[in-house]
Each structure stands twice: as structure tokens, then as C-alpha cells.
Amino acid sequence: AASPAHICPFDQACSYLEAAGKELKLDQGSLEILSHPRKVVTVSIPVKLDNGEVRVLAGHRVQHSDILGPYKGGIRYHPAVTLREVSALAMLMTWKCALLGIPYGGAKGGIAIDPQLYSVGELERITRRYTSELIKDIGPSVDIPAPDMGTSAREMAWMMDTYSVNVGHAVPGVVTGKPLSVGGSLGREMATGRGVMIIVREALADQGKSLAGMRIVIQGFGNVGGAAAELLYKAGAKIIAVSTATGGVYYPTGLDIPALKTYAAVNRKSVVGFPQAAPISNADLLTLPCDVLIPAALENQITEENVNQVQAQMIAEAANGPITLEANQILEARGVTVLPDILANAGGVVVSYLEWVQGLSYLFWNEQRVNHEMEQLMVQAYHQVIQQSKLRQVNLRLAAYTLGVGRVAQALSDRGLYP
Ligand code: AKG
């Protein structure tokens, strides 16, 4: 997720907030409050590696806002993690939860490691110590972590166990995205990809089109890109190219996604070398002619440098922040539909919310119900964004931001300033 050196992710997040604030005519005090995270925590994580060496890692958790409810957001293990990036992503979570109408604030956490370079035992020790250091800052009504890049249900189970052992009793609600065995929700693993499929389907429907036969390019074939590819393929779309970190594959009449999933599963999650398809680089993949482009992996992928080569008619931001502000303006001027991240990739946090609600009520739903409830929240948010965009004559990103920021600002004004 390395950002080009000249792009500061937190400055970028603040400029979106500023634009929304200007559009909403927010007062300077509210803007000032919303542009600062409420709490920033960095802890030292001393870990004994398998070879006996001791290494000290830095673990971050940024709690941007709890104006609407407990902090919520993922934990990222990736070499490019920085406090600035985590702070930007925490702010994004605040607007995302508000936009979806779920009663959470926003947070994000991360450790700058490449999890592939650590053994399972080392990852478990890192995760447990990180959780233990954050013990007073998290909790089912305080701050609820979830998986993000480089983490999964496995890490959430370790976090849940560490928290529970420390407080002396089982607390499944301290994390979401956990395994079913400890109170996870059916449908959580595919949720972000499913949400992307739903938003693309709705946006195409507004243009009088359906998913069937659409030529779709997806950057990323992990939790999000892989699930989106599978669901779009099932809906009849042609997935003409996908990629993983090491490169991509292109097949203009449409890849066999089930076969590709099987291939990636036995090739260390890589799609490179998939028979019949042509190899393509991650950079070239973004410029393929297609109906829908879905960047589902990295930040700042479409910038001023490559935006003029992008040929897609519609772009759905399945990753957080894959298009820079400047590139977005150029795409908008060209009439390309950009479905913004805080809407397009919200399916994950929506099902996290449904998981938390199921846990708090000790009642578990079947997958059909989970998917149905999620779909309703996603479709509702989509229509609100479209309506806001028409009402305010702004692009979909600013429409989504004004809705999210506006709801938090209203709650801030109603709650008032203490003391
Ligand atoms: C994201 O939407 O980027 C998240 O980190 C959400 C994680 C969750 O709470 O499910």
C-alpha cells in the first residue's frame, strides 16, 4: 500500500473532510474537531523470534471519532503501515460508518510488518502482545477491531482470546471478523466483495445496464477482489483481468474464475502463470479497455500520472483510497462514474456490525438473513448518495462525504462540547 512519496495519506483525508465541510458550510470549530483523531496510541511490541532474537515492533491504534458510537475499524499488517496512513484510514472509517447508518465511530490499527516473513507462532506472539498492550483501549463498547490487509479471522481469534483471558471471562464482542466457532458471522468473509458487487450492480442499473456480459477488470485477488470476482462472475459478468501483488492475467473473453481460484490456492495466492491467459502487469491492467475497473488492493493506484490512460467507464473503489483527489477530478470531467471507497467497500464493516449485533443479542442468523440485511443497508446508502449528488450537484465522492461528515457533525453539535 505504499503511497507515492509526495502523497501524504492524512493530508489527503483532511482535504476530503475540508471539501465536505465547505459544501456543508460547517463552522470552523467543528471542522477543527473532526480533523483531529481523538486518541492516538503507539505501543512497543517486543517479540522473541523463533531463532531467539528479540525484535521490538511498533503497534498503532488510531481512534478518530466515537461521536456516533464505539470506535470500529480493521488491524492492518503490511510493511507500508505508518502512523499517518493509519490516521487517515481511521478518519475514513468514521465517515464510512456514518454513511452506512451504523452506530459506530472510526478507528484503524496497524503494524509495519510483512506477515509472510513471520512464522505462525511469531504472528501469534505479536498479535497477543499488541492486544495486551491495547487492553484498556479496546472492548465491545469501546473499540472493536476487525481484520484488514494482512490479518484474518485467525488473528481476531487470538485477539479475542487475549482480551478475554486478561479480563477474566469470554468477550466475543471485542472483535468482529472472528471465526464462526467463537461467535463470528456467516457471510463475513465474502462481505466486502459482496458489497462491491451490490454497489456496481446498482450503479449499472441506473445506467440501464445489468452485470451480465459486462467486461470487468479487478486489481487484487485477495479477500476483497477474489470475493468480488466470484460473485460478479456468478452474476454473468466477464472478468477479463485480475492481478495479485506479483502480477496479473488477462483473458479478453473472460477468465474462468472458479478455476483461477483453485489455481491461486495452490500457487501461494498468486494468479501468475494461469494457463491460457496472457500475463499483464499491475500497471497495465489499470489501463485495459473495460466497462468496470475495480481497484481492490492498493492505495494511490490511479494518479495524475496514469489517469489519462484509464479507459474504464466506471470505477468502483474496493480498496481504500486507490484514486487520488486530482485523478478523481480528471475522471469526473471525463464523465467516468467513480463509486467511492466509503460506499463501495463498506460491506465488510456492515457485516461486522451485524456480527456484533448477533453476539450482543446471543442470537445467530443464517447466511441468507445476514446477506439480506447487509444488502438493504448497502442499497439504501447507495440511493442516498445518488440523491445527495443530485441535490447538491456534486460528484459521488463528495456526496458520500457530505452525508457521512454531515451526520457526525450533527451528532457533535447535538452532544455539545465538554466541558
Ligand atoms: C474497513 O472497512 O476498511 C475496515 O477496516 C472495516 C473493518 C470492520 O470493522 O469490519
pLDDT of residue 8: 85
Pocket of ligand 1 contains residue 352 by CB under 6 Å: yes
Confidence label for 5 from pLDDT (cuts 50, 70 and 90): low
User: Looking at the structure, do residues 109 and 223 belong to the same domain, yes or no?
Assistant: no
How far is the centre of ligand 1, averaged over its atoms, from the C-alpha of 149 (Å)? 10
User: Looking at the structure, do residues 131 and 214 belong to the same domain, yes or no?
Assistant: no
Strands across the sheet with 54-65, in order?
39-48, 54-65, 106-111, 71-77, 143-147
User: Looking at the structure, do residues 325 and 234 belong to the same domain, yes or no?
Assistant: yes
With a threshold of 0.90, tell me whether the complex ipTM lies above it: yes
Q: Is residue 106 part of a domain?
A: yes
Q: Is residue 302 part of a domain?
A: yes
Q: Is residue 307 part of a domain?
A: yes
User: Looking at the structure, do residues 164 and 195 belong to the same domain, yes or no?
Assistant: no
pLDDT of residue 298: 84
User: Looking at the structure, do residues 196 and 56 belong to the same domain, yes or no?
Assistant: no
Average pLDDT across the chain, whole number: 96
Look up the domain containing 53 and give its range. 37-173
Question: Which of 173, 203, 236 marks a domain boundary?
Answer: 173
Mean pLDDT throughout 397-414?
98
pLDDT of residue 6: 65
User: Looking at the structure, do residues 245 and 124 belong to the same domain, yes or no?
Assistant: no
Pocket of ligand 1 contains residue 299 by CB under 6 Å: no
For 311, list phi and psi in degrees, rounded to 5. Answer: -110, -5
User: Looking at the structure, do residues 165 and 226 belong to the same domain, yes or no?
Assistant: no
How far is the centre of ligand 1, averaged over its atoms, from the C-alpha of 353 (Å)? 10
How open is the CA angle 307-313-315, to the nearest 5 degrees? 70
pLDDT of residue 3: 53
Nearest to 316 by CA among 172, 168, 161, 197: 197
* Tens digit of each residue's pLDDT (9 = 90 or more) over 298-321: 889 999 999 999 999 999 999 999
pLDDT at 77 over 80: yes
Pocket of ligand 1 contains residue 404 by CB under 6 Å: no
User: Looking at the structure, do residues 254 and 299 belong to the same domain, yes or no?
Assistant: yes
Cell 500500500 locates to 1
Any idea what DSSP says for residue 113? -
Indicate if 25 belongs to the active site: no
How far is the centre of ligand 1, averaged over its atoms, from the C-alpha of 348 (Å)? 6
Say which CATH number the domain at 316 has.
3.40.50.720
User: Of all protein residues, whose CA lies closest to atom 10 belonging to ligand 1?
Assistant: 349
User: Looking at the structure, do residues 152 and 222 belong to the same domain, yes or no?
Assistant: no
User: Looking at the structure, do residues 273 and 202 belong to the same domain, yes or no?
Assistant: yes
- Ligand 1 pocket, mutate which of 349, 350, 370 (most atoms under 8 A from CB): 349
Say which CATH number the domain at 91 has.
3.40.50.10860
User: Looking at the structure, do residues 201 and 340 belong to the same domain, yes or no?
Assistant: yes
For 133, list phi and psi in degrees, rounded to 5. Answer: -65, -25
Q: How many domains does the chain have?
A: 2
Ligand 1 atom showing the smallest separation from residue 320 Cα: 3
Which is catalytic among the residues 72, 96, 108, 178?
A: 108
Ligand 1 atom showing the smallest separation from residue 144 Cα: 9
pLDDT at 1 over 50: no
How far is the centre of ligand 1, averaged over its atoms, from the C-alpha of 411 (Å)? 22
User: Looking at the structure, do residues 61 and 200 belong to the same domain, yes or no?
Assistant: no
User: How many residues can be counted in the chain?
Assistant: 419
Question: Which of 312, 344, 376 marks a domain boundary?
Answer: 344
Q: Is residue 339 part of a domain?
A: yes
Q: Is residue 369 part of a domain?
A: no
